[in-house]
Amino acid sequence: MKILVLNGPNINMLGIREPDIYGRETYQSLIEKVRDYCKAKNIDVEFYQSNHEGSLVDKIQESYGKADGIVINPAAYTHTSVALLDALKAVSIPTVEVHISEVDKREDFRRVSYVRSACIATISGHGTDGYLEAIDILLKRGDNK
């Protein structure tokens, strides 16, 4: 099984940005944690982070025919991007939306997710463990097929 872990703007600033909200774990340590988890489960994982909407769209398109699942934290683009929604719908790869913070308990604008309707599940507010839960959801789904 091949999974793409996609992160949007400012996720590269984890550990530095608003630690009270996002914690002190860095982006690098998030990658290492997810990589170790995938290794133990025999999953082939690829990571991609960008601060640019079009680059994220490109990466989703490139995953067509290659990835069996996507874990996406679109970050701020969650709340604005029809382009990411359309890209996920276009490739039709099972996708789980992840947010480190509990978006529904923050500002009103964070309650809106454009990508959600293209995702099989959403995990919010479980910190970086949410990425591991997302992988489990994709794995379970893959096993059933």
- Binding span for ligand DQA by CB under 6 A among 30-38, 44-52, 63-71, 93-101: 93-101
* Residue span 56-85 as binding mask against ligand DQA, x where in contact by CB under 6 A, dash where not: -----------------x-xx-x-------
Between CA 108 and CA 128 the distance in angstroms is: 22
**Alpha-carbon 104 to chain mean position:** 17
Q: Are the C-beta atoms of 94 and 71 separated by less than 8 Å?
A: no
99 counts as catalytic: yes
Near ligand DQA by CB under 6 A: residue from 101, 131, 132, 137:
101
Q: How far is the CB of 7 from ligand DQA (least distance, A)?
A: 9
Triad 43, 48, 49: Cα angle to 5°: 140
Tell how strand 44-49 and strand 69-73 pair up.
unpaired
Interface with ligand DQA: number of residues (CB under 6 A): 10
126 counts as catalytic: no
Give φ, ψ of 8 to 5 degrees.
-90, -160
Q: How far is the CB of 145 from ligand DQA (least distance, A)?
A: 28
Near ligand DQA by CB under 6 A: residue from 6, 50, 59, 99:
99
Which residues, in sequence order, are CB contacts of 63 under 8 Å at separation 6+? 4, 70, 91, 93
Q: Which residues bind ligand DQA (CB under 6 A)?
A: 10, 73, 75-76, 78, 99-101, 103, 110
- Residues that are catalytic: 22, 99
